[in-house]
A and B are shown apart, each in its own frame.
Chain A
Amino acid sequence: MKASDKFLKYYVKDLNVSGKEFAEKITMTGTKVETYENLSRNLDKIIVVKLTKIEKHPNADKLLVCTCDTGNGDIQIVTGAPNVYEGMLCPAVLDGGKVAASAHDNLEHPDGIVIKKGELRGVESCGMLCSISELGRPTDLYGNVDGIFDMSDIKCKPGDDAIKVLNLDDTLYDFEITSNRIDCYSVIGIAKEVAATFDKTFTYPKTTFKASFSEPKYIDVEVKDLDLCPMFATRFVRSIKIEDSPEWLKDCLRALGIRPINNIVDITNFVMMEYGQPMHAYDYDTIRDKKIVVKRANDGDKFITLDGQERILDKEILTICDGKGAIGLGGIMGGENTMITDSCKTLLLEAANFNGTNIRLSSKRLGLRTEASNLFEKGLDPNNAINAINRACALIEDLKCGEICEDFIYVYPDEKKNVNKDIEVSVSKINNLLGTNIDSDTMKKILDKIDLKTTVSGDTLKINVPTIRKDINTFADIAEEVMRFYGYDKAGETLPNLEITPVTRTKSEIIEGAATLIARYNGFDEAMNYSFESAKIYDMLNLPQDAKERNYIKILNPLGEDFEIMRTELINGMLKSLSTNHNRGLKEARLYELANIYLPLDEKIEVLPDERKTLMMGGYGKNLDFYVFKGYAEEILEASHVKGNIKFVKNENISFMHPGRTADIYVDDLYLGFVGEANEIVLKNYEISTKTYVLQLDIRNIIEKSDLMFKYRELSKFPRSERDLSMIVPKDLTVDKIEEVLRIRGGKLLESIELFDIYEGAQVGDGNKSIAYNLTFSADDHSLTSDEVDKVIDKIINGLKDLNIELRK
């Protein structure tokens, strides 16, 4: 929301603060100034001159030598602009002065450009005649004029300060308005805040006027859909004189970036800025049957808005119709058919109130957002509309551009209900909430300043809340109003008086912490990916149509198809991130991500889905292979104190994994995840041309099998006994079978096993491999004898025989 210093001063007359001070103070009472700029910050020594004589430059065809009356003697200025004429009044920057933009490219210079007296092709020039863009202003606000800015039609004389004449001695503020303060989307609303902040008097603008005639039935208004239009007010104005607005009005609009059009349009725009209430002006003569009907459109109706575009309507869009058909889209834009033109003689003014939500949705569906719809969608106050339409009439009277009818035709069934309300609040309750000790009189003073008329009775404040302050309903709202002007910074700082609860970590946090620490200790950096991705990635991962990953949750309104589903796996994010690193030429990358995957529990997602915290580790580069990744898995499970039999079971059927180098991980029969080498065909889809390994673990299942209440195991005081077993094994026998025999037959005395050699080759014969284990035996309560160990070894050897395993001598 923009407002200029001059505009605000219409209502806060004796406001006199610098831009900086204004911005700081008003921000601290809740109307944050985002930016502010002085319109003449880069202008200096610019006066109005009159060109009394224009001659050709003796040495240059395209230059002219102007004699300029400065009101204090003549000076000579050379110009290249062809639009000058004798008798013209225009702005000129004098020797040593500054303009905002360069004449060559109209680009604004951050600190302005100093103009110095000098010679142009041998002729003295004591300054520069200025165009509007050299004054730092957008040309479209000034009728897109080229060349030197002609001020002949503006009331001024040679020697006047051009900055003042053009009303550029002004500061423009851009405010951030919070969504509850609908009243502050208006200059009046902000001016009230300003007056209260700086302890000045606020004055309402004039809304009274002298009506000059009567026409009791100038229009027949019928509102069929009161739910979408609770109030519709009209005024009737005749003998319209369409012409340019006076300079003050034009400059006031220009400061806000609004292009002046003509007096009537300018008045409606001005009042819209002033009151935050959009208005519409119809050419009365084009309204058929002198009848207005406000009703929902039919699906498929077509209508041409005043921007010349044809719009297709639907049955939730509110139209303003005359006796024959639509003439406007309520609250959004008027129609081409009733638009006022320069020949307009009679005017119907409209100030209405529309349902904010409906306006928001309608303008979204139409793809048509206007100043009006932006305001209406916030939900405006109908009473404010009545003030606004009367204010417009007062301005018409001031500008002498029409005669106003005394009759006032409007539809407003809830007029009697929509009145100021009284609320009562307790002073001590407010102080208790704020932690302050503000007395009731101070509160009253503050509230009175912002139009919340307050009476004090003991601990109770009775407050009359105007209808425009829809945001004020409870004692907490009043507490905020008091605090804003008492000063947020004046409240002290204390700490809550609460019992301290000791910090505890959930099992999940402990295990996630342990797992990610292991990842980092092994050189994996933490990655983060979006939670949504494209459904296309399932094809990149070669997942079959019936893969469980394809059962995903779809976002109704995604940012695009790249972000349309909630991820059901973490592998895509991992491969994408590794690909980013690989394609940037990095020789190695190791990443991990700990994040949720989202698994639907029902088809329509009526219950919240299963969010499963999952760990994904992935990497490429030197010293990585299946077994290294398997090791990470084992380390993590060990650190999580997983109880049970951990198994790695070959899985040839994960579409994005190498079928010969992938294992599912189980503890007992509970699935924990998978580990292995990614499938190179899938890697190609991600533009990765190097071996890549991944490990995925389901944190919740780890938690289920984890026992964090483990106890320490006593260290044996007795010596350990070691034996090596070397064996010839059928080639396709997996070692887990051998180790099962070792463990079962080794019993309690077998402390640990370590595979230290594996060999295939001629020496052991085709179809065989040689494997060597180091076995460590120990007992907690005595020194093992050789006999004891031999007995266990015999049992083991017998067991191995069943697997066709021979011992090597």
Chain B
Amino acid sequence: MDINLEKLKDKALESIANAKDPKDLDDIRVSYLGKKGEITAVMQRLRELKEEERKEFGKTVNIAKSAIEEHIRLKQKKFGEKIIAEKFKREAIDVTLPSKKISIGHLHPCSIVYNDVRDIFEKMGYTVVTGPEIEYDEYNFEKLNIEKGHPARDEQDTFYINDKVLLRTQTSPVQARVMEKGKLPICIISAGRVFRSDSVDATHSPTFHQIEGLVVDKDISFTDLKGTLTTFAKAFFGENIKTRFRPHHFPFTEPSAEMDVSCFKCGGSGCRFCKNEGWIEILGCGMVNPRVYELCGLDKDKCQGFAFGIGIERLALLKYEIDDMRLLYENDVRFLKQFD
């Protein structure tokens, strides 16, 4: 055969290398490998050869064809890369332009604090219980050892609906309702909205939220109370926080205490935030007064336990350093959007 396959191949590779654009390259492909292409023509002429020669030459032709195909593929890839690079360049944008943010709504700061406190106690095995906001005097006061004329009724100025029904001043009536069922052990938190007739100002609101806890079994002790609330304080305010329990008085607990935490701004050395005391009052607590067990139908000699009450708004004001309680009930979205 009078064909210089080497030369043909070299020519093909040279023109592939010199192809200007994808179209050019395709023309070259057709001129060698197309139906009427030069390599195709050589393949067709293989029939003219004898069997041994055909086998030998066929091999050589296939090698040349593969080489041409490989070079075309590489060249195509090169062109492709160039095109996509140009496209990317054209499509470039100003990444510093403002975002198209999907505006997600925010939880109220009181809900955030409530969720945090609830989660901490739930992890310790407490069950959340709720009850009516408009309550019988009997549950809000009488069963909690605050009979008619008791000074504590003045401390918790009460909104009345009539002489038997009132707006609950605390979430403790829920605890009375649980105790009344008579099943031990009790390990609950009762949460919700409470009402006291305080005029609206920077530190008072006639409506606020409480979480109260109640643990009753046969031998729950004051040290259990301290341990539980210190665990809570560390979980809520941070591992470095210290707690202090001061004697106090509540009609439904005896002994009673108030828990302070070391000031989380100054660490306890005294600053304006803690009024130079180094401590910040957080909650009231105590051992359930045996009289309350009696009033709620439990056997006072077989029950021992503790109770505590936390003001959600107070924690929210402290946590976020909000200086005016009225902001919590104004619902200005610029305020609400600061919490997540």
A residues within 8 Å of B by Cβ?
A: 27-30, 32, 178-181, 356-357, 360, 377-378, 432-436, 474-477, 479-480, 483-484, 488-489, 491-496, 498-501, 503-504, 509, 519-532, 553-559, 563, 566, 577, 580-581, 584, 586, 589-592, 595-596, 598, 604-606, 608-609, 611
Contact A525 B160 (CB under 8 A): no
Assuming A494-B224, A530-B206, is B254 touching A557 (CB within 8 A)? no
- A492 partner residues in chain B, CB cutoff 8 A: 223, 226-227
B162 at interface by CB-CB < 8 Å: yes
Assuming A178-B248, A432-B221, A528-B331, is B287 touching A496 (CB within 8 A)? no
Assuming A476-B287, A494-B223, A604-B162, is B107 touching A520 (CB within 8 A)? yes
- State A609–B136 Cα separation when bound (angstroms): 11
- State A178–B199 Cα separation when bound (angstroms): 23
- B254 partner residues in chain A, CB cutoff 8 A: 474, 476-477, 479-480
- State A493–B290 Cα separation when bound (angstroms): 22
Which one of A434, A527, A566, A580 contacts B223 once the chains associate, using CB atoms below 8 Å? A434
**Least Cβ–Cβ distance between B203 and chain A, in angstroms:** 15
- A559 partner residues in chain B, CB cutoff 8 A: 197, 199-200, 206
Mark contacts of B224-239 with chain A using CB atoms, 8 A cut-off: 1 yes-contact digit, 0 otherwise: 1011101100000000
**Least Cβ–Cβ distance between A525 and chain B, in angstroms:** 4
Mark contacts of B95-111 with chain A using CB atoms, 8 A cut-off: 1 yes-contact digit, 0 otherwise: 00000001111111011
B28 at interface by CB-CB < 8 Å: no
- A493 partner residues in chain B, CB cutoff 8 A: 223, 226-227, 230
- State A9–B256 Cα separation when bound (angstroms): 29
A-B contact sample (15 more), CB < 8 A, given A476-B254, A527-B331, A611-B133: A27-B246, A28-B246, A29-B247, A377-B151, A474-B290, A476-B255, A495-B228, A495-B231, A496-B228, A498-B187, A503-B127, A523-B103, A527-B108, A559-B206, A586-B333
Contact B333 A581 (CB under 8 A): yes
Name which residue of chain B comes closest to A364, CB basis: B154
B291 at interface by CB-CB < 8 Å: yes
Contact A30 B246 (CB under 8 A): yes
Closest 9 CB pairs of A and B: A435-B221, A435-B223, A30-B247, A178-B249, A480-B255, A520-B105, A577-B331, A493-B227, A500-B125
- B223 partner residues in chain A, CB cutoff 8 A: 434-436, 491-494
Contact B289 A476 (CB under 8 A): yes
Assuming A498-B187, A555-B167, A581-B332, is B161 touching A528 (CB within 8 A)? no
B135 at interface by CB-CB < 8 Å: yes
- A178 partner residues in chain B, CB cutoff 8 A: 248-249
Contact A554 B329 (CB under 8 A): no
**Least Cβ–Cβ distance between A519 and chain B, in angstroms:** 6
Mark contacts of B189-231 with chain A using CB atoms, 8 A cut-off: 1 yes-contact digit, 0 otherwise: 0000101010110000011000000010101111110111011
What are 9 A-B pairs with beta-carbon distances under 8 A? Answer: A29-B247, A433-B221, A474-B289, A475-B290, A476-B255, A498-B215, A532-B207, A566-B167, A609-B134
Mark contacts of B102-138 with chain A using CB atoms, 8 A cut-off: 1 yes-contact digit, 0 otherwise: 1111111011000000000010110110001111100
Contact A592 B246 (CB under 8 A): no
Contact B104 A520 (CB under 8 A): yes
Contact A378 B290 (CB under 8 A): no
Contact A528 B246 (CB under 8 A): no
CB within 8 Å of A: which B280-301 residues = 287, 289-291
- B251 partner residues in chain A, CB cutoff 8 A: 180
Contact A530 B329 (CB under 8 A): yes
B245 at interface by CB-CB < 8 Å: yes
- State A531–B133 Cα separation when bound (angstroms): 10
B328 at interface by CB-CB < 8 Å: yes
**Least Cβ–Cβ distance between A784 and chain B, in angstroms:** 38
- B334 partner residues in chain A, CB cutoff 8 A: 584, 586
Which one of A29, A509, A556 contacts B160 once the chains associate, using CB atoms below 8 Å? A556
Mark contacts of B138-176 with chain A using CB atoms, 8 A cut-off: 1 yes-contact digit, 0 otherwise: 000000000001011011000111101101000000000
Name which residue of chain B comes closest to A509, CB basis: B128
- B107 partner residues in chain A, CB cutoff 8 A: 520, 526
- State A422–B256 Cα separation when bound (angstroms): 23
Give the bracket for the number of chain B residues in contact with chain A: 35 or more
Contact B224 A480 (CB under 8 A): no
- State A32–B226 Cα separation when bound (angstroms): 19
Name which residue of chain B comes closest to A30, CB basis: B247
Contact B328 A608 (CB under 8 A): no
B257 at interface by CB-CB < 8 Å: yes
Name which residue of chain A comes closest to B224, CB basis: A496
Contact A496 B105 (CB under 8 A): no
- State A28–B260 Cα separation when bound (angstroms): 11
- A377 partner residues in chain B, CB cutoff 8 A: 151
Contact A557 B159 (CB under 8 A): yes
Which one of A433, A580, A596 contacts B222 once the chains associate, using CB atoms below 8 Å? A433
Which one of B154, B160, B193 contacts A557 once the chains associate, using CB atoms below 8 Å? B160
- State A55–B247 Cα separation when bound (angstroms): 62
- State A590–B105 Cα separation when bound (angstroms): 8
Name which residue of chain A comes closest to B164, CB basis: A606
- State A477–B108 Cα separation when bound (angstroms): 41
Name which residue of chain A comes closest to B229, CB basis: A493
- A378 partner residues in chain B, CB cutoff 8 A: 151
Contact B249 A180 (CB under 8 A): yes
B319 at interface by CB-CB < 8 Å: no
Contact A179 B331 (CB under 8 A): no
- A591 partner residues in chain B, CB cutoff 8 A: 331, 333, 336
- B206 partner residues in chain A, CB cutoff 8 A: 530, 532, 559, 563
**Least Cβ–Cβ distance between A470 and chain B, in angstroms:** 12
Name which residue of chain A comes closest to B255, CB basis: A480
- A28 partner residues in chain B, CB cutoff 8 A: 244, 246-247
**Least Cβ–Cβ distance between A296 and chain B, in angstroms:** 18
Assuming A496-B215, A520-B106, is B257 touching A181 (CB within 8 A)? no
Contact B227 A495 (CB under 8 A): yes
B185 at interface by CB-CB < 8 Å: yes
Contact B231 A555 (CB under 8 A): no
Contact A555 B164 (CB under 8 A): no
Assuming A30-B247, A598-B134, is B217 touching A523 (CB within 8 A)? no
**Least Cβ–Cβ distance between A666 and chain B, in angstroms:** 27
Contact A558 B159 (CB under 8 A): yes
Contact B337 A525 (CB under 8 A): yes
B2 at interface by CB-CB < 8 Å: no
B262 at interface by CB-CB < 8 Å: no
Which one of A476, A488, A530 contacts B290 once the chains associate, using CB atoms below 8 Å? A476
- State A504–B122 Cα separation when bound (angstroms): 9
Contact B127 A483 (CB under 8 A): no
- A528 partner residues in chain B, CB cutoff 8 A: 108, 110, 328-329, 331
Assuming A434-B223, A435-B221, A496-B217, is B135 touching A608 (CB within 8 A)? yes
Contact A433 B160 (CB under 8 A): no
**Least Cβ–Cβ distance between B268 and chain A, in angstroms:** 12
- State A519–B111 Cα separation when bound (angstroms): 15
- State A766–B136 Cα separation when bound (angstroms): 64
- State A580–B124 Cα separation when bound (angstroms): 41
Contact A529 B331 (CB under 8 A): yes
- State A581–B160 Cα separation when bound (angstroms): 33
Contact A494 B255 (CB under 8 A): no
- State A217–B162 Cα separation when bound (angstroms): 51
**Least Cβ–Cβ distance between A13 and chain B, in angstroms:** 26
Contact A181 B336 (CB under 8 A): no
- A436 partner residues in chain B, CB cutoff 8 A: 222-223
**Least Cβ–Cβ distance between B49 and chain A, in angstroms:** 53
- B21 partner residues in chain A, CB cutoff 8 A: none
Q: Most chain-B Cβ atoms within 10 A of its Cβ — which of A491, A496, A526?
A: A496
B330 at interface by CB-CB < 8 Å: yes
Contact A503 B207 (CB under 8 A): no
- B132 partner residues in chain A, CB cutoff 8 A: 608, 611
Contact A179 B247 (CB under 8 A): no
- B287 partner residues in chain A, CB cutoff 8 A: 433, 476, 479
Contact A480 B134 (CB under 8 A): no
Contact B304 A433 (CB under 8 A): yes
- State A474–B294 Cα separation when bound (angstroms): 13
- State A580–B335 Cα separation when bound (angstroms): 12
